[in-house]
């Protein structure tokens, strides 16, 4: 059996098809649920800003 190489977060960004190393589930104030990929944000503030944007879109 062939041994598989472990991929780093940077390796995952290069994979065609857009794999994500970690998803965060968000529940909007109106009850809508969605997930954001943490790989797309460089810090927590960016992720929180995106969540606020999507909350406005979903509700």
The model's pLDDT over 3-17, given as tens digits with 9 standing for 90+, comes to 666 667 776 666 655
pLDDT of residue 37: 92
The pair of structure tokens assigned to 55 is 């909350």
List of the chain residues with pLDDT < 50: none
pLDDT of residue 19: 75
Tokens of 28: 């909007």
pTM of the model: 0.64
CB 35 within 8 A of CB 28: no
pLDDT score, position 32: 93
């Amino acid at each position: 059996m062939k041994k598989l190489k472990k991929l780093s977060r940077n390796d995952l960004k290069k994979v065609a098809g857009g794999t994500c190393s970690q998803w965060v589930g968000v529940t909007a104030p109106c009850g809508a649920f969605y997930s954001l990929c943490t790989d797309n944000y460089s810090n927590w503030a960016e992720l929180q800003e995106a969540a606020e944007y999507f909350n406005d879109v979903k509700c």
